[in-house]
Amino acid sequence: MEGRTLITYYSWSGNTESVAKEIQALTGYDSIAIVEKKERKKSNMPFSALTALLGLRSRLMPMDFNLDGYDRILLGCQVWAWHSTPAVNSFISKANFKGKKVFLFITKADDKVPQKVIDSITSKIRSKGGEVADSLSITTTMERVIEPDEFREELSSWLKSNGLI
């Protein structure tokens, strides 16, 4: 097993947080949420989707972007308009991924694997010296927060196959 692992994630609707909390329950890894300075209103999804489509970044609450002491990063994000969220874009732009192995866990509202998002995030992390080792995408819904029982088996299998548990 490698060194320490960090779970970090952005969750607007609660689905990515649900997955992150289940990963933490299964592994005991450190976890930190990526939080935007200005809270997004749920009623303004079209504007939020547009900011993702344009590849914009958002201002984040203070956090450590250094990632020293961690060899592996489990990065959780949502898909908005077939793109990564402004909060995740900001985190990636500020984080030091040099020598880090990154595992993406992605929540999305449709059944398709968001390969464009995975490729985009992978490219950004590579440009910062990191390596995306694998990804998992979990289908969720905007109507309610997904329950761990709905994805636990798939998540556990993915974590085991990557030597994370």
Q: What local confidence, expressed as pLDDT, does residue 7 receive?
A: 98
**42: confidence class by pLDDT, cuts 50, 70, 90:** confident
Alpha-carbon gap, residue 112 to 105, rounded angstroms = 14
Encoding tokens for residue 10? 């952005």
The arithmetic mean of pLDDT across residues 82-107, rounded, is 96
Residue 77 has pLDDT above 50, yes or no: yes
State the average pLDDT for the chain: 93
Which pTM was predicted? 0.93
E-assigned strand segments in the chain: 5-9, 30-33, 72-80, 83-84, 101-108, 131-139
**How many DSSP H helices and E strands does the chain contain?**
5, 6
The arithmetic mean of pLDDT across residues 124-129, rounded, is 97
Q: What is the DSSP string of 101-147?
A: EEEEEEEESSSS--HHHHHHHHHHHHHTT-EEEEEEEEE--SSSPPP
> pLDDT tens, 5-16?
999 999 999 999
Q: Tell me yes or no: is domain 4-161 CATH 3.60.21.10.
A: no
Contacts with 130 (C-beta within 8 Å, 6 or more apart), sequence order = 73, 97, 98, 99, 100, 101, 102
> pLDDT tens, 135-155?
999 999 888 999 999 999 999
What are the residue ranges spanned by the domains of the chain? 4-161
Q: How many residues does the chain have?
A: 165
The arithmetic mean of pLDDT across residues 88-99, rounded, is 96
Residue 1 has pLDDT above 50, yes or no: no
Residue 123 has pLDDT above 90, yes or no: yes
Pairing relation of β-strands 72-80 and 83-84?
antiparallel
**2: confidence class by pLDDT, cuts 50, 70, 90:** low
**49: confidence class by pLDDT, cuts 50, 70, 90:** confident
Direct distance between the N- and C-terminal alpha carbons of the chain, in angstroms, rounded to an integer: 9
